[in-house]
Amino acid sequence: MPDAPPPTEAPVPAPYAVSVPDDARLLGTPPFLAPGEVVMWRYRDYAWAPGRPETVSPMRVVRDDERGLVAWLAPGTPQLTKRYADGSDLRDVPLGDRYVREPHRVQARSRWRGAGILRVAPAGSPWSVWLFWDVPEGHEPANPAAHDAWEFAGWYVNLETVHRRAGHDTFTGDHVLDLWIEADGTVHVKDADELVEAERAGRLTAEQAAAIRLNAEHGRASFLAGDWPFDDAWTRWRPDATWTTPDLSTDERWDVDLLDV
């Protein structure tokens, strides 16, 4: 992404609406969850309705206050994802067919296979910031003994609807376009071609796509300004060694089980 001055237009909190409970409140307003409690981080698309699949990740709360929500996705965490009935993923489908076939996806249970991710949702911002670390070969990511060997890899700015909260759930919707910011500060735009295809296929309007691109500019400007949470403190963060891996709620349901695949 080339250097550019900060955008003059305000960011768009919700380029499209996300279905949430009637009593849901904006992120950053009480009541708050305590560190170590479990929050269900839910992604719902623009057409979500009860019975349709969503992405749900059980995460340990690191911090929850007026500034925003910080939560930890531990290695090996069971989660709900959207897959096709044969277990394949959206990215297994050619780009031109992805949004045509999207209504055919079902609810799947799977397991987060990578190293852990620290997610930070700043209150009022249409993105969350995901911190990634590289774990050297020979170290088990879930083993606290490996924490000192972690090397910070970068920030992933996931463009999404401003979060709304209800109980132990936080609700948002993914906006396709993202930023990857390397540890040295190099900024890359990700999935711009997918956003173009989403607009072409009618999943998003031209106005919604323009709002998402504007939000990407704001996310980049926030990083360059050193806004929270783009600071060194979080790059040095490590999870509590006493935390166990949380599980999905007992009332969750799925059509395809890929937990141990």
pLDDT at 160 over 90: yes
Q: Is the pLDDT of residue 260 over 70?
A: yes
* Its pTM surpasses 0.85: yes
Task: State the residue for tokens 């170590």.
Answer: 36
- Token pair in block for residue 156: 């992933």
* Paired strand residues for 170: 41, 165
Q: Residue 237 CA to chain centroid, in angstroms?
A: 18
Confidence of residue 47 (pLDDT cuts 50, 70, 90): confident
Span between the terminal Cα atoms of the chain, in Å:
37
Q: Is 159 part of any domain?
A: yes
- CA distance linking residue 244 with residue 50, whole number of Å: 30
Mean pLDDT of 212-234: 96
Answer yes or no: is 126 within a domain.
yes
Q: What share of the chain is helix, strand, coil (3-state, %, to 5)?
A: 20, 30, 50
Q: What is the per-residue pLDDT for 100?
A: 85
Lowest mean pLDDT among 147-151, 168-172, 219-223: 147-151
Residue 118: name the closest of 33, 246, 243, 235 by CA. 235
Three-state secondary-structure class, residue 16: coil
Nearest alpha-carbon partner for 20 in 51, 53, 43: 43
Looking at the predicted structure, is the pLDDT value of residue 2 above 60? no
3-state DSSP call for residue 59? strand
Element (H, E) at 121: strand 117-122
Tally of domains in the chain: 1
Whether 194 has a pLDDT exceeding 90, the answer reads yes
Pairing of strands 187-190, 174-182: antiparallel
* Mean of all residue pLDDT scores within the chain: 95
Q: Is the pLDDT of residue 3 over 70?
A: no
In order of 17, 177, 209, 226, the CA distances from 106 in angstroms are 21, 23, 25, 40
The answer to whether residue 245 sits within a structural domain is no
Of 210 and 114, more confident? 210
pLDDT by residue (tens digit) across 203-212? 999 999 999 9
Residue 103's CATH number? 2.40.380.10
Q: Confidence class of residue 238 from pLDDT cuts 50, 70 and 90? A: very high
On whether the CB atoms of residues 61 and 159 are closer than 8 A, the answer is no
What pLDDT shows up at residue 9? Answer: 96
- Residue 16 in any domain: the answer is no
Instruction: State the pLDDT at residue 1.
Output: 55
The pLDDT of residue 177 is above 90: yes
Confidence band for 261, pLDDT divided at 50, 70 and 90: confident
Query: Apex CA 158: angle with CA 224 and CA 45, to 5°?
Result: 150
134 in any annotated domain = yes
Domain for residue 248, yes or no?
no
Nearest to residue 167, comparing CAs of 61, 25, 6? 25
What was the pLDDT predicted at 127? 98
CA distances from 210 to 60, 78, 147 (A): 34, 35, 40
Tokens representing 87? 């277990």
Instruction: Average the pLDDT over 169-190 and give the result.
Output: 98
Residue 28 inside a domain? The answer is: no
Taking only the tens place, the pLDDT of each residue in 68-96 is 999 999 999 999 999 999 999 988 989 99
- pLDDT for 190 equals 98
Q: Encode 221-236 in three state secondary structure.
A: HHHHCCCCCCCHHHHC
Look at residue 162 and tell me if it is in a domain.
yes
Instruction: Look at residue 22 and tell me whether its pLDDT is greater than 80.
Output: yes
Give me 206's structure tokens. Answer: 């031209």
Containing domain of residue 125, as a range?
34-239+253-257
Report the pLDDT averaged over residues 230-259: 96
